[in-house]
Structure 1
Amino acid sequence: MLRYTLMRLGIFAGCLVVVWGLVYSGLAPRGLGDSNGMWIILLALVLSAPISFVVLRKERDRASARIVQRVDRMKANLDANRSQEDLADDTARAQGQTS
């Protein structure tokens, strides 16, 4: 997951540099008034999102598969703990009835 996040940040940083260059060279419009910095960040976000979606598809699938595995493992551990508690509770009740 960290790898995917870093790759996504890298794509955003690349888009930020490109947009900044385009805006300051006059090829892309500047923001209104003092909004130039916000305009550059917003435009970089808008450009990096679809690029990340296409370019990082395989990495996103790998990250989601790892997350699913961790969730399944946690569910299995939780079910095992529940069954141990049920067994201990049943044993305690059985011993309480025979005494």
Structure 2
Amino acid sequence: MLRYTLMRLGIFAGCLVVVWGLVYSGVFPRGFGQSNGMWVVLLAMVLSAPISFVVLRKERDRASETVVKRVDRMKANLEANRSQEDDAIDSAHAQGQTS
């Protein structure tokens, strides 16, 4: 998961550098008034999203498999804890009724 996040940040940083260069060279407009910094960041985000979606497909699938495995393991642990609690309650009731 960390690898995927770092790769996304890398793509965003690359897009940010490219957009910054294009804005300051005059290819893209500079924005309105003092909005130049925000304009560059927004353009970089808009460009990096589809690039990340296409380029990082395999890494995203790998990360989602890891998340699914963790969730399944946590569900199994929760269910095991519930069954232990139910068994403890049942045995407590059984001892209370026989005494």
Measure, in 1, the Cα distance between the counterparts of 2:64 and 2:84: 30
How many percent of aligned residue pairs carry the same amino acid? 84
Deviation at 1:29, TM superposition (A): 1.2
Aligned to 2:42: 42
Q: Letter of the 1:39 partner, please give it.
A: W
Matching residue of 2:97 = 97
The answer for the alignment partner of 1:77 in structure 2 is 77
Secondary structure in structure 2 of the residue aligned to 1:51 = helix
Structure 1: which 4+ aligned runs deviate by more than 4 Å? none
Number of residue-to-residue matches in the alignment: 99
Deviations 1:35-83 (A, max 9, x none): 1111100000000000000000111101111000000000000000111
Task: Give the TM-score of the pair, scaled to structure 2.
Answer: 0.98
Q: Does 1:65 align with 2:65?
A: yes
Unaligned runs of 5+ in 2: none
1:24 maps onto 2:27 in alignment? no
Aligned counterparts of 2:34 and 2:89: Cα–Cα separation in 1: 68
